[in-house]
Structure 1
Amino acid sequence: MPSDKTRPTTPRTLIDFAQPHGDARRLRLGFGAPSRVLVARTAAEVRPVLDAVEALAREGRWCVGYLRYEAAAAFDRAFAVHAVHAVHAAEGPLAWFGVHDEALPWPEAPGDDAAPSIDWQPGISRADFDRRMQAIHRAISDGELYQLNYTAALHARFDGDAQALFMALRQAQPDGYTAFIDTGEEQVLSVSPELFFDWQGDRILTRPMKGTAPRGATPAEDEALAQRLRTVPKERAENVMIVDLIRNDLSRVARPFSVRVPRLFHTEALPTVWQMTSDVEALVREGTTLADVFGALFPCGSITGAPKVSAMRMIRELEHEARGVYCGAVGVVRPGGHATFNVPIRTVTLRNGEARCGIGSGITADARADAEWEEWHHKRAFLDRAGQASTPSFDLLETLALADGELRDAPAHLARMAAAAAHFGRPWNEETVAHCLDGLKARHAAGMWRVRLLLDAQGTPRAEAFTMEAPSARVRLQLAERPFDEAHGDFTRFKTTRRAHYEAFAPTAPGVFDTLLWNRDREITECTRGNIALLLDGRWVTPPLHCGLLNGIGRANRVHSGQLAEAVVRVDDLPRVRALAFVNSLRGWLDADLDGF
């Protein structure tokens, strides 16, 4: 329907899409108020909208929009979906496209407001999750399906600036196929890493994403996790099932014998997870339309399961609300008809003051409930990163001991800060940092000093020195009363001035030196100012990095020398611990007592 509104200063639509065929340039554009809006509110209207989108694009217009998952009913009556009006949060058109006569430059300053912190609430309890996992496993065992992509939605209240939230999400989940679409009725904030399809001329490419692993705390652990993802039979089988499904779907619009799989089991590094993708491509038959492509492929098999009809039927039974834009398709059709759509995972929708974000995973016969639950946690980490983007700015931090003009473990500290700079995308010049430290050493050539080395967002270092008293021979520790929820967060894995999550666990009893932390799985992690060593079963051990802790320099030195071995220690193991020590590079090894044990 035509729109008479004047184009606003801030674009209502933003597209930042990767070029899937290896071109480093991105499709990064803004769009104002559309000259026309195409909307489908019933299944019968979806194909005519897609036909109109294709015709207008071939006339030279830009068409940007989305299809809800529930639009699947327009392409095959066997596809079971919730009625669109079944859940208030998911109400909205089955398809929406804004038509634009021209594209605008990407905005330099898209919004003045900082992204607000959002209190996301889970849409399913762990007990319900386990019950539904059992139901899926029964269906697989009975031969009803091979795999099912099960999801649930997170919900939150939201009354902030939608475009500012999108920019924070995009910073937390960069690259990929990101889009911001404000229809006036709702806002779609998609930072999806998954390509649904790219269709240009007679060539079509799909890139299903199946297989997930967390990122490692060190480069070695990171690469080991990626290698495991590429080689574990469960992950490979899950990927191949969906590749086979999409090959079959694609054959419906492909020229005979043109469907091929040029790449299998490719791992892509995202900020919070490794994802595995495969490429499936084909040459489309002459006369194929955009509606035909959607009819063959939609919804993407990576977010349904296999076989698709059986999987979608069970999805409707298990998921008590419509998916909405999540797991549908968001994309752009360029002038001339080149169409690129994502699979809108990692996607937030805003409607009537409510924010909604779906999280899910593919369930196979050998999937375990605890592992899938943890995968959901890893996948939602981009929301936590976006929330962190709205916090006050922070500096990277290293704390070193300066003894009579010599910095203890300086190379290791600088290497760790360089790794943090790379992770947070900050400039790093080791010569500049070394020059900064040399100046401080010259001013403090005698005595013991505690040095704080800081690196700001522009890569500018500064160093501060404070008088350091001799440490106590023995210290007291207290055990945290609740789990340390940020054990696996960026601001735990890397040392920065953002320490509110640690300060919340500061000792409360007089004379207590520090607090011993533990994660949601009741695994011991570290103290708030250093690592922990424990004498357990006749050997000194320290928690491994995957429990969620800073890779302390003092800890790393002792692991490398063999003084400490890595081992998971749980809260329930503490009565068997015969001795403890607080460990860091600044203070060294301090024997410790734990209150209550």
Structure 2
Amino acid sequence: MPSLTALIDFANPHTADGAPRLRHAFGTPSRILQAKQLTEVAGVLLAAEAAARAGAWCVGYVRYEAAPAFDAALAVHPATGPLAWFAVYPQTLPWPQAPVPAPASPTVQWQPSLERSQFDAALAKLDAAIAAGEFYQVNYTSQRSGQWVDDAQTSTASAGLALFHALQQAQPGGYAAYLNTGLEQVLSVSPELFFDWRDGELLTRPMKGTAPRGATPQDDAAQAEMLRNSPKERAENVMIVDLLRNDVSRIAEPFSVQVPQLFHTQALPSVWQMTSDVTARTRAGCTLADVFAALFPCGSITGAPKVQAMQAIRALEPEARGVYCGAVGVLQPGGTATFNVPIRTLTLQSHSGNQQGQAQQVRYGIGSGITSGSEPAAEWAEWQHKQAFVQRATTRFELLETLGLVDGQLMQRSLHLARMQAAATHFGFTWPGVALEQALDHIAQAHATGAWRVRLLLGLQGQVTAQAFELPPSPSTVLLQLAKQPLEEAHSEFVRFKTTHRPHYDAFTPTEPGVFDTLLWNTQHEITECTRGNIALLLRGQWVTPPLRCGLLPGVGRAQALADGRLVEAVVAVRELPEVSALAFVNSMRGWLPARLAP
């Protein structure tokens, strides 16, 4: 197959989930259209539209910094690349049959992100400006960068394709696109539709309103319901819907602007998002350049009113957004145009390699809409939830279960396998049921006597590893220390599911002699778990353990104690610890260990 320069994997915005997707690969373009100056942007859009109407495919982007090409009042930073870029293709290629294999070590060395104090200071400025009536909402964002180092000496293009594949696994569905312009690679797995324009009918679908996914099916449904009915989230959504209605009306036939759907909730791997639809019939003679002039940038990533919001963005954000928050899309033969809002989007640029291999600079942005009802802690948490897809895609990890093996019998084997299978489903790992059973059978037969700790690992493609280690006798009582700071990742998928990715736990590893483990708490000052097991607390005469919604691993030993009636779920605040009359460390391998808290 020829070298791939673009991939488009877009949902059909006019049909329900499960409908065929617009899914094409593209090789060598017949020509490139690009705008390096603001005065050239409209011309590039018109040329791309003309090529599509003549039968070609056009795939490309418009940078956020192209906004002044349509309205000089829209404030932006200077651009760091072409303002608009489109590749023209005479035909498509088949979608690659096999996924692009991930490199040997697809990890990114991320540089420190925006400090919480800087974040709070920015929100304080926005809150004051909103109170003063300068604007209603601003979409505040921050860029994060890092180096992706590939020990396998993979080519720059292959590295980008591999990372795009990993991003799609972490953030499936939506409006995904891969572009290799030669200078940079754009890897977009955006869930947000900017607009779809075909046969004179325009559909926009702004995404505004976010809630984290729940730790259990019941909690997850409750989070979605809370999002749908949240006055703050609904107000945030309506502000942008009103802005889009106004923008769309500039190119719409009279009385054709409609809002057929409000407050639709969409499930993504780490968050629930709220969308609404704004539709219209465009006026005769309307061009793609006219559509961009009316809508760009999408109001969901600026705020309202757009001019004032973008002025605030220019003042607060220290650098250009780039393709992030611009538009990435495809023009089909005949002229149908579909563009995403490139959130959940990375750019990859290569520079000189080092002794360890080829180094690529990776950048992505994360943001949220700030209104008068925004609370810094909640917005900060939203940022963490939104960027989970990046952590998953750029982290090499395996699924993990640790089982007790006593005299050839694996303790609670079926429960451990069920938990691992749930994790495999969540992360998209191949599930090799028979191979796992065989590996456990083999290790049990090989260790027919004594007490052992079995470490069971599952790789992305279904690779199975099982090892046994001697299990020392459990102490009669263990000493726990209380964490000195909250576990900010308490609601991460790497807490809800057991994997080998544990830096968030390793940071709390006890260093004092005699301390067995650390008792953790979340940013709401609620007790959660220990780093290697769950916690049971005797509070006001009843043994309780924190519910999963506090942010903890659903331990097998914990589940058994709940099923036996030995434990019930209850939220326990850190301030309540003086009222706790007894503690126990709980996991399936050690069982129930009496514990005490270090002074």
Shorter-chain TM-score: which interval? 0.7 to 0.9
1:94 to 70, 74, 83: 83
Identify if the C-alpha distance between structure 1 residues 96 and 497 changes in structure 2 by more than 3 Å, giving closer, same or farther. closer
Counterpart residue identity of residue 247, structure 2: D
* Aligned residue number for residue 357 of structure 2: none
Of residues 497-506 and 340-349 in structure 1, the stretch that sits farther from structure 2 once superposed is: 497-506
Distance 2:277 2:486 in 1: 41
* Aligned residue number for residue 33 of structure 2: 38
Question: Which string of whole-angstrom CA distances, capped at 9 and with x for unpartnered residues, describes residues 538-589 of structure 1?
Answer: 654433434432111332344563734422444x765665432101233332
Asked whether the equivalents of residues 401 and 585 of structure 1 are also in contact (C-alpha less than 8 Å), the reply is no
Q: Displacement of 1:459 after TM fit? A: 5.9
Give TM-score scaled by structure 1 length: 0.86
Confirm or deny that 1:287 pairs with 2:285.
yes
* Aligned residue number for residue 494 of structure 2: 491
Counterpart residue identity of residue 373, structure 1: W
Q: Displacement of 1:372 after TM fit? A: 0.7
Confirm or deny that 1:386 pairs with 2:376.
no
The answer for unaligned runs of 5 or more in structure 1 is: 1-7, 85-90
Asked whether the equivalents of residues 405 and 444 of structure 2 are also in contact (C-alpha less than 8 Å), the reply is no
Confirm or deny that 1:19 pairs with 2:16.
no
Of residues 574-583 and 535-544 in structure 1, the stretch that sits farther from structure 2 once superposed is: 535-544
Distance 1:267 1:589 in 2: 41
Confirm or deny that 1:156 pairs with 2:151.
no
* Aligned residue number for residue 83 of structure 1: 78
Question: Which string of whole-angstrom CA distances, capped at 9 and with x for unpartnered residues, describes residues 304-362 of structure 1?
Answer: 11111221122222222221111100111111111110001111123464332111100
Distance 1:578 1:30 in 2: 63
Matches within 5 A, 1:112-511: 113-114=103-104, 116-122=106-112, 124-158=114-148, 161-351=159-349, 353=351, 354-388=361-395, 391=396, 394-397=398-401, 399=403, 412-426=415-429, 457=460, 471-478=474-481, 487-496=490-499, 502=505
| SS of match in other structure, 2:133 | coil
Confirm or deny that 1:48 pairs with 2:43.
yes
1:550 to 530, 549, 553: 553
Of residues 51-60 and 504-513 in structure 1, the stretch that sits farther from structure 2 once superposed is: 504-513
Of residues 465-474 and 363-372 in structure 1, the stretch that sits farther from structure 2 once superposed is: 465-474
Question: Which string of whole-angstrom CA distances, capped at 9 and with x for unpartnered residues, describes residues 371-414 of structure 1?
Answer: 111111111111111122xx25x245363677896x76566545
Counterpart residue identity of residue 27, structure 1: L
| SS of match in other structure, 1:556 | helix
Of residues 579-588 and 461-470 in structure 1, the stretch that sits farther from structure 2 once superposed is: 461-470
* Aligned residue number for residue 87 of structure 1: none
Distance 2:581 2:66 in 1: 62
Asked whether the equivalents of residues 547 and 568 of structure 1 are also in contact (C-alpha less than 8 Å), the reply is no
Q: Displacement of 1:369 after TM fit? A: 1.0
| SS of match in other structure, 1:119 | strand
| SS of match in other structure, 1:281 | strand
Distance 2:52 2:525 in 1: 56
Distance 1:69 1:470 in 2: 61
Identify if the C-alpha distance between structure 1 residues 413 and 118 changes in structure 2 by more than 3 Å, giving closer, same or farther. closer
Counterpart residue identity of residue 14, structure 1: L
Confirm or deny that 1:104 pairs with 2:93.
yes
Asked whether the equivalents of residues 331 and 339 of structure 1 are also in contact (C-alpha less than 8 Å), the reply is yes
Distance 1:462 1:68 in 2: 46
State percent identity of aligned pairs. 60
The answer for unaligned runs of 5 or more in structure 2 is: 151-158, 352-360
Of residues 550-559 and 453-462 in structure 1, the stretch that sits farther from structure 2 once superposed is: 453-462
Distance 2:270 2:544 in 1: 27
Q: Displacement of 1:265 after TM fit? A: 1.4
Name the count of aligned residue pairs: 578
Q: Displacement of 1:110 after TM fit? A: 3.9
Of residues 146-155 and 561-570 in structure 1, the stretch that sits farther from structure 2 once superposed is: 561-570
Q: Displacement of 1:95 after TM fit? A: 0.6
Q: Displacement of 1:225 after TM fit? A: 1.2
Identify if the C-alpha distance between structure 1 residues 231 and 412 changes in structure 2 by more than 3 Å, giving closer, same or farther. farther
Q: Displacement of 1:33 after TM fit? A: 2.7
Asked whether the equivalents of residues 196 and 204 of structure 2 are also in contact (C-alpha less than 8 Å), the reply is yes
Q: Displacement of 1:115 after TM fit? A: 5.9
Distance 1:575 1:346 in 2: 44
Identify if the C-alpha distance between structure 1 residues 141 and 514 changes in structure 2 by more than 3 Å, giving closer, same or farther. closer
Question: Which string of whole-angstrom CA distances, capped at 9 and with x for unpartnered residues, describes residues 459-508 of structure 1?
Answer: 68898888867643322334567765654433331124555765675555
Confirm or deny that 1:70 pairs with 2:65.
yes
| SS of match in other structure, 1:71 | helix
Distance 1:565 1:530 in 2: 16
Identify if the C-alpha distance between structure 1 residues 498 and 79 changes in structure 2 by more than 3 Å, giving closer, same or farther. closer
Identify if the C-alpha distance between structure 1 residues 138 and 482 changes in structure 2 by more than 3 Å, giving closer, same or farther. closer
Of residues 156-165 and 12-21 in structure 1, the stretch that sits farther from structure 2 once superposed is: 156-165
Q: Displacement of 1:302 after TM fit? A: 0.4
Asked whether the equivalents of residues 533 and 564 of structure 1 are also in contact (C-alpha less than 8 Å), the reply is no
Distance 1:462 1:116 in 2: 20
Identify if the C-alpha distance between structure 1 residues 438 and 132 changes in structure 2 by more than 3 Å, giving closer, same or farther. closer
Asked whether the equivalents of residues 403 and 411 of structure 2 are also in contact (C-alpha less than 8 Å), the reply is no
| SS of match in other structure, 1:24 | coil
Asked whether the equivalents of residues 216 and 549 of structure 2 are also in contact (C-alpha less than 8 Å), the reply is no
Q: Displacement of 1:241 after TM fit? A: 1.2
Q: Displacement of 1:535 after TM fit? A: 4.1
Counterpart residue identity of residue 570, structure 2: E
| SS of match in other structure, 1:118 | strand
Identify if the C-alpha distance between structure 1 residues 519 and 387 changes in structure 2 by more than 3 Å, giving closer, same or farther. farther
Give TM-score scaled by structure 2 length: 0.86
| SS of match in other structure, 2:278 | strand
